[in-house]
A and B are shown apart, each in its own frame.
Chain A
Amino acid sequence: MSEINLELNSIVMRFGGNQAVDHVSFSVIKPQLIGMIGPNGAGKTTLTNVMSGMLKPTNGTIYLNGRRIDGHPPYDVVRAGLGRTFQITRALGRMTVMENMMVPGLAIRPRARRADIEARAHEILDLLTIDHLTNELSRALSGGQRKLLELGRLLMLDPAVIILDEPFAGVHPRLQETIYSYIHRVHEDGKAIILISHNMGAVFELSQRLIVLNNGALIADGEPQAVKSDPAVIEAYLGEDED
């Protein structure tokens, strides 16, 4: 089990006059399954971009296992142990599924034997039920299969903390099951997962802890049942229909 200690301290992200993330602080110290929810425009994806190094925060610090990572480029953040998927899948279209898997494999372990990395890629593709598509160009995959490929690439990186940005969006129920089992499997492997989703059923079913954002600020952080009954959350996000 890899060491996990992610710490966000008062993260602020401003775009001109718009404060997209407003002094958000939280920490992840064990392989928890954390749901991150909030209405559209709450700042979830912006915070993900800040955490993964795609955006440099206006203010605040992020430490991962004692190493400061805020403002570091994404490849450095990944190497430090924080990986992510994208809300809209970003498969490397004119490269085969195997090449998509080899990129993170070779980037993270440049000295490893190519055959070993390939073997690992096959294992992961098999787990995700897309092993038969190894030589297919990734642009030929369906939307759901691309989601699976993205998850596969993350496993090649073997990060300690994984952020899944809307993994169920636009995915057929049968593929959702595969993604569910993926999340469980990865969690059992001792990784922390931050799950961002509008699929409330999935979030409540999977999460051990829930973080709620609204207007860029963190308004609740705790056990799902407790968060669900938090008046601030009900007002901001769940509305009157709690169920």
Chain B
Amino acid sequence: MALFQRIEAAVDAGIGRRRLGYALLALIIVYFLWFPNDTSQSNYAKTVFISGFFYAIMSSSWALLAGIAGQFSFGHMAFMGIGAYVAGLVARDGLAFLTAESISAVGAIFIGTLVAGLVGLVIGWLLLRLRSAYLALFTIAFSELFRIVMLTEYDYTGGSNGLSLRPLLQIADVDTARQVEYYLMFALLIVCLLALYWVSNSPIGLFLRAMREDEDAASALGVNVVRYKILVFVFTSMIVGLAGAIFYSDVGSERIIPEQLEILQMSLIIAYAVIGGMESLIGAAAGAFIARYLLEATRQVVITLPFGLTMADGSDAFVWEPGAWRYALFGLVMVLTLRFMRNGLLYPIITWFSGRGLVMKETVAKRESDEDHAGRLEVDNE
């Protein structure tokens, strides 16, 4: 602890926490940019990363919706699905006066994103009078409704076999294709995070947090709660609609299946955000990426036996397959996080780098030096 405090003091006196944080962030970005060029990495590892980026977009956008705006929605995966399904359907069947052939993959993704936003508008409007548990129940119902329709209307949607979208990238060489897909998804994550941060740091972000704290009080303070509630639904729906349409356009996955829209999948998005830090966009994104990576990495654990020990079958390796247990372990982490670190496992780290703790310390010092205030507090507390 003493060592940590010395390091802390050195950082504060030297580069400063915030700058150190930015430097680390830059290093992480450089690592991600370099990663696909590492010849020792398999295409499988790149696929895991691509999936990690996708889920990072899902979790961070959900963090804006639920953690910052307080709209605890279970409909996030459904909006993602709307983006993907609509992109797939318009590219296959056309749309009104547009023939299927005239709609490019990019056009289909655009239409999918737009429709996700429009549905977000309607759902946001329907949810205006609903709060907390009712909002959650409504969005669960909406999400299930959408999944069941996609499953049942198999003539159009392919049912449980899923729906193929028009491939966005058509690159014959598998290695090159994986590399381009990797960069595309990473770029999308960066763009989405920048957009989310822009909203969160703008006056809109302030109003959303005010609404989360107390919707009536925010309204009495002049915040147009109707506008911002709808806006946050439209904005996050469009982000996940876009991410879904791109990811399933053969970038991260070949087809969208209704199984992806199940409540379990939505719960995972929530779990990633909770573990990373629901009120921090970067925390939720990092939480999702790390969790996806660990969930993949723990599929099979091989421990080589030392001292020439062998198993009954003669092999020198003990193979443990925690695959069946990994979600249970993951659940345990979530339970412990909620009980002991409600702001997420990464939140203390992010707070430390932001320097917010320093400001709080100064405030406390000021308060303690204010005897008048201390006197008032004593009387107030009596």
Interfacial residues, chain A to chain B (CB-CB below 8 A): 52-54, 73-75, 78-79, 83-84, 86, 90-95, 99, 102-104, 106-108, 110, 129, 132-136, 142-145, 153, 157, 172, 174-175
21 A–B contacts, CB within 8 A, in A order: A54-B220, A73-B219, A74-B220, A75-B222, A75-B223, A84-B220, A92-B209, A92-B210, A95-B209, A95-B210, A99-B209, A102-B206, A104-B222, A106-B203, A106-B207, A135-B359, A136-B360, A142-B381, A172-B376, A174-B375, A174-B376
| B373-A132 in contact (CB<8A) | yes
Least CB distance, B128 to chain A, in whole angstroms: 11
B131 located at the interface, meaning its Cβ lies under 8 Å from any Cβ of chain A in the complex: no
In the bound complex, residues from chain A placing their C-beta under 8 Å from that of B379 are 172, 174
Complex Cα distance, B379 from A89, in Å, reads: 18
User: Can you name the residue of chain A whose Cβ is closest to the Cβ of B222?
Assistant: A107
B213 located at the interface, meaning its Cβ lies under 8 Å from any Cβ of chain A in the complex: yes
In the bound complex, residues from chain A placing their C-beta under 8 Å from that of B362 are 135
In the bound complex, residues from chain B placing their C-beta under 8 Å from that of A172 are 376, 379-380
Q: Which of B161-186 contact A (CB under 8 A)?
A: none
In the bound complex, residues from chain B placing their C-beta under 8 Å from that of A142 are 376-377, 380-381
Least CB distance, B201 to chain A, in whole angstroms: 11
| A83-B220 in contact (CB<8A) | yes
Interface bits B344-381 vs A (CB < 8 Å: 1, else 0): 00000000000000011011001100101101110111
In the bound complex, residues from chain A placing their C-beta under 8 Å from that of B373 are 132-133
Complex Cα distance, B292 from A172, in Å, reads: 53
Say what secondary structure dominates the interface of chain B: helix
| B219-A103 in contact (CB<8A) | no
Q: A78-B220, A135-B359, A135-B363 are in contact. List 15 more A-B contacts (CB 8 A).
A: A52-B220, A53-B219, A73-B224, A75-B223, A75-B224, A83-B220, A86-B220, A91-B217, A92-B217, A94-B209, A99-B210, A107-B223, A133-B367, A153-B221, A172-B379
Complex Cα distance, B224 from A107, in Å, reads: 8
B12 located at the interface, meaning its Cβ lies under 8 Å from any Cβ of chain A in the complex: no
Complex Cα distance, B380 from A219, in Å, reads: 36
B214 located at the interface, meaning its Cβ lies under 8 Å from any Cβ of chain A in the complex: yes
In the bound complex, residues from chain B placing their C-beta under 8 Å from that of A90 are 214, 216-217, 220
Q: How many chain B residues touch A (Cβ–Cβ < 8 Å)? A: 33
In the bound complex, residues from chain B placing their C-beta under 8 Å from that of A103 are 206-207, 210, 218, 221-223
Known contacts A99-B206, A174-B379: A54-B223 contact under CB 8 Å? no
Q: Which of B219, B359, B380 contacts A144 (CB 8 A)?
A: B380
Interfacial residues, chain B to chain A (CB-CB below 8 A): 203, 206-207, 209-210, 213-214, 216-226, 359-360, 362-363, 366-367, 370, 372-373, 375-377, 379-381
| B220-A134 in contact (CB<8A) | no
Complex Cα distance, B218 from A108, in Å, reads: 12
Q: Which of B207, B370, B380 contacts A143 (CB 8 A)?
A: B380
**Most chain A Cβ neighbours within 10 Å, of B206, B209, B377:** B206
| B376-A144 in contact (CB<8A) | yes
Least CB distance, B23 to chain A, in whole angstroms: 25
In the bound complex, residues from chain A placing their C-beta under 8 Å from that of B206 are 95, 99, 102-103, 106
User: Can you name the residue of chain A whose Cβ is closest to the Cβ of B375?
Assistant: A174
Known contacts A52-B220, A104-B222, A172-B380: A136-B363 contact under CB 8 Å? yes
Known contacts A95-B209, A132-B370, A174-B376: A107-B221 contact under CB 8 Å? yes
User: Can you name the residue of chain A whose Cβ is closest to the Cβ of B223?
Assistant: A107
In the bound complex, residues from chain A placing their C-beta under 8 Å from that of B375 are 174
| A92-B214 in contact (CB<8A) | yes
In the bound complex, residues from chain A placing their C-beta under 8 Å from that of B360 are 135-136
Complex Cα distance, B372 from A84, in Å, reads: 28
